[in-house]
Structure 1
Amino acid sequence: MNEAVETLVSQVAACAKACNQCFYACLKEEDVKMMTNCIRTDRECADMCGIVADFAYRESEVFPDLVAACAKMCGVCAAECEQHDMQHCKDCAEACRACEKACNDYLGQ
């Protein structure tokens, strides 16, 4: 696997970790109902990042399409988390923005 793919896989793994941490922290918030959309987007983003990592190792021909979808999902998740003041949401938004950039950088190479 080339260096660009390795870099991308590292970034999607970090994003998935941040999304999962945010997801679990949101479940512990006092007003969980208020966090429903954040929880949903965290899970979707973590899942998408996992799919990108899996397909990178398969050298799938649909890999670029998945990377594009991952960039979009990371943007959606970041936008949701940026609406909340909790540190776990701020950390997740930062990881999602970094992953979104890494995906777009990979696609633009």
Structure 2
Amino acid sequence: MAVTTVEERNKACLDACAECQQACEACNYQCCADQPEMAECARLCVDCAAICALCVTLLARGSRWAEQVCRLCAEICEACAAECDKYDVDYCRACAEACRRCAEQCRQMASATA
């Protein structure tokens, strides 16, 4: 029987969270640089980046709290994607796509241990 390390088991989710964190940080920066009406988008991106970073940390060390944080991360990612979808700019589209991928991976991670 093959032994699966925590890192291997969590790799897809960890990668999706890291990608989402980077996309949210980039989107936040651009939203702040553009127009004030994008403030809510910028705020959600900051929150989403923070929860994604926490997921990466907890998944990498195999924390028993990772699955619960992944559930919350999926919710925040969906909210961020919905907000980014309101704007027809490349960085928001890229962020929304990364958020949806992350939400999907986080839900899979959370349901795998439920």
Query: Could you tell me how far apart the structure 2 residues matched to 1:37 and 1:4 are?
Result: 34
Q: Aligned partner of 1:61: which letter?
A: R
TM-score normalized with structure 1 length = 0.92
The equivalent of 2:28 in structure 1 is 23
Distance in 1 (CA, whole Å) between partners of 2:60 and 2:90 is 33
**Percent of aligned pairs with the same amino acid:** 32
Q: Where does structure 2 lack aligned partners over 5 or more consecutive residues?
A: 1-5
Query: Residue 4 of structure 1 contacts residue 106 of structure 1 at CA under 8 Å; is this kept in 2?
Result: no
Q: Which digits, 9 at most, give the CA deviation of each residue in 1:6-37, with x for residues without a partner?
A: 111111000001001101111221x2x20110
Is the 2:28–2:45 contact (alpha carbons within 8 Å) kept by the matching residues of 1? yes
**Distance (whole Å) between structure 2 residues aligned to residue 93 and residue 17 of structure 1:** 12
Structure 1 gaps, min length 5: none
Larger Rg: 2
CA contact (8 A) 1:71 1:100 kept: yes
Give the TM-score normalised by the residue count of structure 2.
0.88
Q: In structure 2, what residue type is equivalent to 1:19?
A: C
Q: CA deviation at 1:4?
A: 2.9
Q: Distance in 2 between matches of 1:16 and 1:100?
A: 12
| Equivalences, count | 107
Decide which of 36, 46, 51 is 1:48's aligned counterpart: 51
Show structure 1 runs of 4+ deviating over 3 A: none
Q: Deviations over 1:45-84 (max 9, x none)?
A: 0000000111112322211110001001100100100111
CA distance in 2, matches of 1:75, 1:48: 12
CA RMSD of aligned residues (A): 1.1
